[in-house]
Amino acid sequence: MTRVVYELNESVRIAFEQIRAHKMRSILTALGVIIGIVAVTLMGMAIAGINTSFESSLAVLGDDILYVQKWPWQPPDDWWDYANRQPIRPELARNLNRIIESTPNSELMIAVPMLARSATVKVGENSVNGISMFGTTGDYGMLLTDDFREGRLFTETESDAARPVCVVGSDVADALYPGRSAIDQMVEVKGHRFRVIGVLARQGDFLGIFSLDDQMIIPLGAFEKYFGGRNSGNAEIQVKIKDKTRLEQAKEELIGDMRRVRGEKPGERDSFSINEQQAFKEQLDPIKKGIALAGLFVTGLALFVGAIGIMNITFVSVKERTKEIGTRKALGARRRSILLQFLVESVSVSLIGGLAGIGLASALAFAIKIAMPALPVESSPALLVIGLLVSAGTGVAAGFAPAWGASRLDPVVALRYE
């Protein structure tokens, strides 16, 4: 056992003598690994970053909210049955709240109706396209996960009276009233004028795909009055639950309540869907995994090229030192000693590349974070350790064939080699 330690010690010394003796060739070989490790590590950081943004974006959706909707979030197979369901109407919320209040120890807190459509907001000549406009009641305040930058949400009275007031996202406020407060200013949607009474705090965008900051919230009554008609059929009811660890129980209760409201008999199928963030997540997970695998495969190719470089240089090293191998064998080196010697050499080069690679990747990640904060890149110690392990593994895998060959050399032939 101790002999292995002495031989390992000797191997490390030889490896570093070799690297020092062939600086340029070692640097070039390590460069292949550096490029590979930078690519793989940055990819890993991007995957970690995407995961975090997903999580935080989903948190905005609220992990303690159930959505009563006509359609489930997972695409159904028998869509025709779903299409024939009766629409969810905002009035359902009132019925649900009455049941919730009369249920002792209810898992549910409150049901809030939401109507939605996309809209264009104008102030004079300025306009913002494609914002999401919601109609809801003053109860929405209990669901709101984000703070107000300024102002407030409309009150129950204002929403019951269908007052022409609105709350806007920070992007909308900044676009229409750059550099000054939007509070008490008027905005116009399809010729109807609304007074801004609140601006939401900035939430950021989701992978740059969609923004959570260009929305506009108006009283439900106003929504129905000005933009009603067919849109009021497409409502959803958001139900806040009391304890998110008891999500399943809350969901059961809500299904029962909805069936009561809808007057469905036992054995009859639900005429509604209860959606929750978790289902959305489950649907996105395979996509995320697919992207991650594809990304790691492509960047892994770069590392593979680096590994070929190491293999090549180790073959050259074995060839050049054939006579030395013969001498070592004559002096009593076993096959294992020779194998170890060349493996340590290839792993050393690979580890040096790996260290430089994760250093460079960390620096790049830091730079990206400063230059482009929108890009999701997240570094972590675990990722760096994995990067090092991968580079060590690359060294072993790449060095094995030449080292094995060296260990099997016939000492007579090796000694005669010039």
User: Nearest Cα to 108, choosing from 235, 221, 237, 236?
Assistant: 237
- Is 15 a binder of another protein (CB under 8 A)? no
340 binds another protein (CB under 8 A): no
Task: Report the residue number, 14 or 111, with the smaller CB distance to another protein.
Answer: 14
Site for another protein in 266-325 (CB under 8 A): 323-324
- Name, in order, each residue with C-beta under 8 angstroms of 243's C-beta and a sequence gap of 6 or more: 107, 250
> Which of these ranges, 204-212, 295-303, 331-339, 348-356, lies near another protein under the rule CB under 8 A?
331-339
Select from 10, 160, 264, 378 the one that contacts another protein (CB under 8 A): 10
* Of 233 and 411, CB closest to another protein: 411
Q: Taking the complex as a whole, how short is the minimal distance between the CB of residue 401 and another protein, in angstroms?
A: 19
Residue 67 near residue 251, CB atoms below 8 Å: no
Contacting range for another protein; rule: CB under 8 A; set: 58-66, 121-129, 218-226, 326-334? 326-334
- Rounded to whole angstroms, how far apart are CA atoms 56 and 307? 37
- Is 6 a binder of another protein (CB under 8 A)? yes
Backbone φ and ψ of 335, nearest 5°: -55, -45
Query: Applying CB under 8 A, does 330 fall inside the site for another protein?
Result: yes
- The 3-state DSSP class for residue 178 equals coil
Position of tokens 């695409």? 75
Count of residues that bind another protein according to CB under 8 A? 26
Is residue 191 part of the contact set for another protein (CB under 8 A)?
A: no
**Sole window of 117-125, 267-275, 332-340, 357-365 interacting with another protein (rule: CB under 8 A):** 332-340
Q: Which of 329, 347, 348, 379 binds another protein (CB under 8 A)?
A: 329
Q: C-alpha angle with apex 119: 115 to 122, nearest 5 degrees?
A: 135
Question: Cβ closer to another protein: 185 or 327?
Answer: 327
**Interface residues with another protein (CB under 8 A)?**
2-3, 6-7, 9-10, 17, 21, 323-324, 326-337, 410-412, 415
